[in-house]
Amino acid sequence: MGSMKNLWLMLIISMAIKTGVSYQHLEAPIPSPSYKNYLTDCAARLHPKYCADQTYFDIFYGNETTSEECCKNLHVGVGKSCTDNLIKFVLASSPQFKKNETQIWRRINQIWNGCTA
């Protein structure tokens, strides 16, 4: 899969590897291997790669705008519960993003409501 990996996938995989430490720190339950597989699958369903990268920067940094095409792909390919669970996992695993939780949820809601599938 190499070059096909999107930023979401790389983020989820790298966080899944270090969750042992950060989850203990946050006193949250450590996700099971099957839950990690579920999240990896969610992240992999966002196509094409530029849509995955666009939504990633839009949600976590606010310096990109998700196009209508990518918004539709998020609805159709990933779905609401997968998207919310991905965000929750990233926030629980990353103190850096956790600080900006409010903005991040606002942005994901804007993206989510920005198109109809």
Ligand X SMILES: *[C@@H]1O[C@H](CO)[C@@H](O)[C@H](O)[C@H]1NC(C)=O
Residue ranges that bind ligand X, judged by CB under 6 A: 57, 60-61, 63-64, 96-97, 100, 103
Q: Which is nearer to ligand X, 36 or 107 (CB)?
A: 107
Whose CA is closest to 82, among 32, 9, 17, 28?
Answer: 9
- CA distances from residue 87 to 22, 34, 107 in whole angstroms, order as listed: 16, 17, 11
Q: Which is nearer to ligand X, 81 or 102 (CB)?
A: 102
Whose CA is closest to 60, among 32, 93, 27?
Answer: 93
Q: Which is nearer to ligand X, 35 or 110 (CB)?
A: 110
CB of 14 to ligand X, least distance (A): 15
